Each structure stands twice: as structure tokens, then as C-alpha cells.
């Protein structure tokens, strides 16, 4: 049965990282769920309290990064979460390519920056998790 739990954990970790690129998938919650399954169903003693404190802190940072950091960058370029499609439509309809490009680049920078920061934080948690297993 432990093998099944490990497969589920691996799938959750993969879905977590896929969630960085597929907006409909929650990224960090999948990773967190994988940690919980390991802790409660495989080996409850290997993950220390300090691990859980850091995990909860980093999960909060990921949520903050997801919502606030991307929003700040997008707003600095006068964009929104729908700015890329809106920039394309604006370019087609008004031919205001400079403004459309500015909004599109700002939105892309906000989204990519958020994905990179979240990916690094999640990778750090996953590396620490595997170090604790050794």
C-alpha cells in the first residue's frame, strides 16, 4: 500500500509544478497535500516541527506572491489579469501598438516573475523534503 501512496505523492508534486503553468490547477496546495499524505500515511516521524513551520510560512509567501506581486507589476504597467488578450484586441481595433505592447509586456513580466518566484520556493521545499527522507 505504501507504493500507492508514493505514486499519489509523486502525482501531487507533479500537479503542483504543473499548476505554475496551468492557471486552473492550484500549485502550492498540491505540494502541501503531498507532504501531508507522506506525514500521515507513510512516516509520521520524519518531518520535524521546523519543517512544518517553514512549509506554512513558504505557503503563505507563495499565496502572497501569487496575488500581490503579480498585481503590483501588472498595475505598474496599467494592466489587469486580462491584459494580454485585451492588449491584442486593442492593437487590432485601435492600432495603438505602443500602449498595447506596454500593457502586454507588463502583464507578461508580472506573470513570469510570479511563476519564477513560486517555482523557486516550491523547489526549495521539495528539495528539503527529499533531504529529510535520506
pLDDT 10s digits, 17-26: 999 998 788 8
**pTM (2 decimals)?**
0.76
Reported confidence tier of residue 131, pLDDT bands at 50, 70, 90: very high
Tell which wins on pLDDT, 47 or 109. 47
Burial 67-106 (b: 16+ CB within 10 A, else e): eebbeebbeebebeeebbebbeebbeeeeeeeebebbbeb
Contact between residue 62 and residue 121 where contact means Cβ atoms under 8 Å apart: yes
CA atoms within 13 Å, Cβ hemisphere of 80: 3
Cell reading at 112 = 513570469
| Residue 69 neighbours by CB under 8 Å, 6+ apart | 110, 113, 114, 117
Reported confidence tier of residue 113, pLDDT bands at 50, 70, 90: confident
Please provide the distance, in angstroms rounded to a whole number, between the alpha carbons at the two ends of the chain: 21
In the block, residue with C-alpha cell 500549485: 27
* Segment 34-55 mean pLDDT: 94
Amino acid at each position: 500500500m505504501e507504493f500507492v501512496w508514493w505514486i499519489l505523492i509523486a502525482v501531487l508534486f507533479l500537479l503542483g509544478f504543473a499548476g505554475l503553468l496551468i492557471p486552473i490547477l492550484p500549485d502550492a496546495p498540491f505540494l502541501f497535500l503531498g507532504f501531508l499524505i507522506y506525514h500521515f500515511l507513510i512516516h509520521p516521524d520524519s518531518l520535524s516541527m521546523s519543517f512544518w513551520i517553514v512549509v506554512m510560512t513558504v505557503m503563505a509567501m507563495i499565496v502572497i506572491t501569487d496575488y500581490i506581486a503579480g498585481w503590483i507589476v501588472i498595475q505598474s504597467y496599467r494592466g489587469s489579469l486580462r491584459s494580454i488578450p485585451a492588449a491584442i484586441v486593442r492593437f487590432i481595433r485601435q492600432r495603438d501598438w505602443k500602449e498595447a505592447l506596454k500593457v502586454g509586456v507588463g502583464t507578461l513580466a508580472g506573470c513570469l516573475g510570479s511563476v519564477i518566484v513560486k517555482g523557486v520556493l516550491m523547489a526549495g521545499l521539495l528539495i528539503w523534503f527529499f533531504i529529510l527522507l535520506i
